[in-house]
Amino acid sequence: MIMTAAAAWLVGSQRRPKRSAGFWIFLLSNLLWIVWGWYAHAYALIILQICLAAINIRGAQKNDPAAGPDYPTA
């Protein structure tokens, strides 16, 4: 839970490296929640974390400077 909160804090940063770290920490926390969900037989939690991981992967890709801006430049 602490990792998830820390990741949310970092993702809210205006600095790209901190946001990037936040997405990676989110993905690690998703994995840890999945492990816990498997142990606790909380299958809805596992499905939720898989969905959230997909959203975090999308966010990490959009945060990638190599991807360039997602708006047209003149």
The count of structural domains within the chain is 1
Query: What is the residue type of 47?
Result: I
Q: What is the mean pLDDT of residues 5-17?
A: 89
Structural domain harbouring 20: 2-64
Query: Contact, 25 vs 10, CB < 8 A?
Result: yes
- Domain presence at residue 8: yes
Q: Please, which pLDDT band fits residue 48 given cuts at 50, 70 and 90?
A: very high
DSSP assignment of 2-68: HHHHHHHHHHT-SSHHHHHHHHHHHHHHHHHHHHHHHHHT-HHHHHHHHHHHHHHHHHHHHH-GGG-
Query: Contact, 6 vs 24, CB < 8 A?
Result: no
pTM over 0.85: no
- Domain presence at residue 71: no
Over residues 12-24, the pLDDT tens digits come to 888 888 988 999 9
- Domain presence at residue 73: no
